[in-house]
Structure 1
Amino acid sequence: MITTMAGTGACPECGAATVSIREALPWCAGCEWNLDGYDRARQQPELGWSWIDRRTYRLAARLTRQQYATLVGRPLASTGWGVADALTVGVSLLLLVGVLALAVTGVWLLFAYPFPNFAVMVGLALIGLAAALRPRFGRVPADVEVLTRAEAPELHALVEEVASRIGAPVPHVLGVNADVNAYATAVGLRRRRLLCLGLPLWGALDGPARVALLGHELGHFVNGDVRRGPLTQPALTMLGSAADLFRPVPGTHGAGLVVLIGEWLGRMVSWTLSRVLFVGHLTLAATALRGSQRAEYLADEMSARAAGTTGATRLLDVMLRTDSVALAVRQGARGGHGPEAWRAGTARSLAAAADRLPLLRQLSVREETSLFATHPPAGLRHRMLTARSWQDPAVVLTEARTERIDAELTRHYERAGRIVAWEG
Structure 2
Amino acid sequence: MTTAEAGACPRCGKTTVSTREAMPWCAACEWNLDGYDSARQAPEFGWAWIDRRSHRMAGRLIRHQYAALVDRPLESSGLGPAGVATAAASLLLVVGVLALAVVGVWLLFAYPFPNIAVVFGVAMIGLAVALRPRFGRVDPDLEVLSKDQAPELHALVEEVAAAVGAPVPHVIGVDGSLNAYATQVGLRRRRVLALGLPLWGALDGPQRVALLGHELGHFVNGDVRRTVVTQPALTMLGNAADMFRPVDSVRGGGLVEMIGDALGRAFSWVVSRLLYGGHLVLVVTALRDSQRAEYLADEMAARAAGTDGAKRLLDALLQSESLALVVRQASRGGQGPAAWQTGVARSLAAAADTLPLLRQLSIREQSSLFASHPPQGLRHRMLAARAEHEPRVTVTDARIERIDTELARHYQRVSHAVAWSG
2:174 aligns to what SS in structure 1? strand
How far apart are the structure 2 equivalents of 1:417 and 1:105? 55
Percent of aligned positions that are identical: 71
What is the TM-score with the length of structure 2 in the denominator? 0.98
**Using the alignment, how far apart are the partners of 2:106 and 2:421 within structure 1?**
52
**Structure 1 range deviating more: 367-376 or 97-106:** 97-106
After TM superposition, give the deviation of residue 336 of structure 1 in Å: 1.3
Cα distance in 2 between the residues matched to 1:115 and 1:206: 70
Q: Kindly indicate whether the alpha-carbon contact (under 8 Å) linking 2:306 and 2:391 is maintained by their aligned counterparts in 1.
A: yes
The answer on 1:415 being equivalent to 2:377 is no
Distance of 2:400 and 2:412 partners within structure 1? 17
State the alpha-carbon separation in 1 of the partners of residues 282 and 110 from structure 2.
37
Q: Measure, in 1, the Cα distance between the counterparts of 2:80 and 2:90.
A: 15
Q: Secondary structure at the match of 1:194?
A: strand
1:73 is aligned to 71
After superposition, what is the alpha-carbon deviation per residue over 1:150-172, rounded to whole angstroms, capped at 9, x for unaligned?
11111100000011011111101
Which residue of 2 is the match for residue 169 of structure 1?
167
State the shift of 1:253 in Å.
3.8
Contact in 1 for aligned 2:214/2:300 (Cα 8 Å): yes
Corresponding residue number in structure 2 for 1:51: 49
Q: What amino acid is aligned across from residue 4 of structure 2 in structure 1?
A: T
| Counterpart in the other structure of 1:141 | 139
Partner of 1:188: 186
1:308 to 296, 300, 306: 306
Contact 1:365 1:379 in 2 (8 A): yes
Q: Specify the SS of the correspondent of 2:193.
A: strand
Show the counterpart of 2:5: 5
Match 1:211 to one of 209, 213, 220 = 209
Paired AA for residue 220 in structure 2: V
Aligned to 1:118: 116
What is the CA–CA distance in structure 2 between the aligned matches of 1:206 and 1:350, rounded to whole Å?
12
How much has 1:190 moved relative to structure 2?
0.2
What are the superposed Cα offsets for residues 159-215 of structure 1, whole Å, 9 maximum, x if unpaired?
Answer: 000110111111011111111110000001100000001111000000000000000
Residues 265-314 of structure 1 show CA distances to partners (whole Å, capped at 9, x for unaligned) of: 21121111111111111111111100000000000000000000110000
What residue in structure 1 maps to residue 276 of structure 2?
278
2:155 and 2:80 map into 1 onto residues whose CA distance is 35
* Equivalent pair of 1:293/1:375 in contact (CA under 8 Å): yes
For 1:220, the equivalent position in structure 2 comes to: 218
SS in 2 for 1:423: coil
Q: Distance in 2 between matches of 1:330 and 1:382?
A: 27
What is residue 318 of structure 1 aligned with on the other side? 316
Counterpart Cα distance in 1 of 2:299 and 2:81:
23
Distance in 2 of aligned mates of 1:268 and 1:155: 54
Please tell me the residue identity of whatever aligns with 2:411: Y
Letter in 1 for 2:5: M
- The residue type paired with residue 222 of structure 1 is V
Corresponding residue for residue 256 of structure 1? 254
C-alpha contact (below 8 Å) 2:45/2:51 kept by paired residues: yes
- Offset of 1:261 from its aligned partner? 1.9
| Equivalent pair of 1:199/1:416 in contact (CA under 8 Å) | yes
Q: 1:249–1:267: 8 Å Cα contact kept in structure 2? A: yes
Post-superposition CA distance 1:21-61 (Å, at most 9, x none)? 11111101111100000111111111121111111111100
SS class of match (2:306): helix
Shift of residue 84 of structure 1?
Answer: 1.2
Q: Indicate the RMSD between aligned Cα atoms, in angstroms.
A: 1.2
Quote the offset at 1:251 in angstroms: 4.4
Q: How does 1:348-387 map to 2 (within 5 A)?
A: 348-387=346-385
Shift of 1:356: 1.1
Q: Give the Cα separation in 2 of the matches to 1:372 and 1:413.
A: 33
Q: Which runs of 4+ in 1 moved over 6 A?
A: none
Do 1:4 and 1:17's aligned partners in 2 also have CA atoms closer than 8 Å?
A: no
Q: More displaced, 47-56 or 182-191? A: 47-56
Specify the code of the residue in structure 1 equivalent to 2:28. Answer: G
Secondary structure at the aligned position of 1:174 is classed as: strand
- Give the alignment's TM-score, normalised by structure 1: 0.97
Gaps spanning 5+ residues in structure 2: where? none
Given that residues 19 and 27 in structure 1 are in contact (C-alpha distance below 8 angstroms), is that contact kept between their aligned partners in structure 2? yes
1:76-155 correspondence runs (5 A)? 76-155=74-153
Counterparts of residues 191-202 of structure 1 (less than 5 Å): 191-202=189-200
Q: C-alpha separation between the residues in 2 aligned to 1:166 and 1:80?
A: 16
* Structure 2 partner of 1:391: 389
Distance 1:310 1:101 in 2: 53
Distance in 2, matches of 1:131 and 1:353, equals 53
Give the distance between the partners of 2:78 and 2:172, measured in 1 at CA. 27
Alignment: residue pair count: 422
Q: Tell me how far 1:329 sits from its aligned partner.
A: 1.3
Structure 2: how far apart are the matches of 1:379 and 1:58?
17
Uncovered stretches (5+) of structure 1, i.e. residues with no partner: none
